[in-house]
Amino acid sequence: MCVKVLPTVVAIQGKHVNVDEVCSWCRMFREDDMHVMFECSFAKQVWEAVGLQRLVDVQQNDTVKKVLKRVLNTGTTDQWIMQRAKEDGNKHHNHNSTGIQNWSKPPGGWIKINVDAACRPGDDFVGAGCVMRDDCGKFLRASSTRIRGKMQPKMAEAVSLREALSWTKQWRSNKCIFECDAKPVVDAVNGARGKSMFDTIVEDYSYLLKHYKEVLITFVHRSANIVAHKMAQTTYSETDLKEWYDYTPDFISCNLALEEI
């Protein structure tokens, strides 16, 4: 595109070929290189889909080369890393031969917090657990707590993530990736919300996320979230667990999580 060899309709017309100059994607505007790359509605959807639409700033009298150069000069490394982390988190990209997804390390400089909930019919509480690890896969902290109330699994997952966001900000407020195996919860966080009780809980995330400089909430397969699930299950073995119980690397009772890690 930078050397103007892409066969857009305008380029083909320049070679004296009789073709319709209207874009074959949007069917609205003249198809030149700037339109194909940045201005077409389809092109904008592509940039948005990869999370880079805000970096593509098209100005008057721009050329493709000018726009790309400006994007590469103004896009920080962290912005590109954040997008890569988001893509990795939303893809089932790390499967073994049995089709089971394995836990994967976060990008350099980031930490990953896996979150899960455990609930049993008839109980008046749900268990919540989370495990924090760094970009080397090293265990940092883990926590478990009981959250009072009878809840369906979807609601329990939403409340657990809310509590994990609140707990984590005590230790870390930037470059955090929260992984959750409840896709409806992740979709609600990253998309439109309604007016149900579930949506009200998700709305609380907006306040908590203000405490973070860079944060992602992504979906992960349950098989890659097993440690957090075990932490949530420990709440059923404790006789009186009312608040977040903190497990650090030197806390010997954390063997359950450490062995699995």
The band of 23, judged by pLDDT with boundaries at 50, 70 and 90, is confident
pLDDT at residue 96 above 70? no
We find that the CATH architecture of domain 84-260 is 2-Layer Sandwich (3.30)
> 86 or 142: whose pLDDT is higher?
142
The pLDDT value recorded for residue 131 is 92
> 78 or 200: whose pLDDT is higher?
200
The pLDDT value recorded for residue 152 is 82
pLDDT > 70: percent of the chain: 77
> 159 or 257: whose pLDDT is higher?
159
The band of 179, judged by pLDDT with boundaries at 50, 70 and 90, is very high
pLDDT at residue 51 above 80? no
Three-state DSSP class for 204? Answer: helix
Q: Is the pTM of this model over 0.75?
A: no
The pLDDT value recorded for residue 187 is 82
Structure tokens that stand for 159 in this block: 């409340």
**Where is average pLDDT lowest: 33-42, 63-72, 95-104, 177-186?**
95-104
The pLDDT value recorded for residue 243 is 45
The pLDDT value recorded for residue 242 is 45
Q: Tell me the pLDDT tens digit for each residue of 131-155.
A: 999 999 888 988 888 888 888 888 8
Instruction: State the SS3 of the chain.
Output: CCCCCCCCHHHHHCCCCCCCCECCCCCCCECCHHHHHHHCHHHHHHHHHCCCHHHCCCCCCCCHHHHHHHHHHHCCHHHHHHHHHHHHHHCCCCECCCCCECCCCCCCCCEEEEEEEECCCCCCEEEEEEEEECCCCCEEEEEEEEEECCCCHHHHHHHHHHHHHHHHCCCCCCCEEEEECCHHHHHHHHCCCCCCHHHHHHHHHHHHHCCCCCEEEEECCHHHCHHHHHHHHHHHCCCCCCCCEEECCCCHHHHHHHHHC
CATH 3.30.420.10 residue ranges in the chain?
A: 84-260
The pLDDT value recorded for residue 80 is 59
pLDDT > 90: percent of the chain: 7
Mean pLDDT, the chain, rounded, equals: 77
Mean pLDDT of 62-74: 82
DSSP-derived secondary structure for 141-165? EEEEEEEES---HHHHHHHHHHHHH
Give the Cα separation of 65 and 204 in Å (integer): 43
Mean pLDDT of 202-218: 82
pLDDT at residue 261 above 50? no
pLDDT at residue 220 above 80? yes
Mean pLDDT of 25-53: 81
Structure tokens that stand for 83 in this block: 């997008």
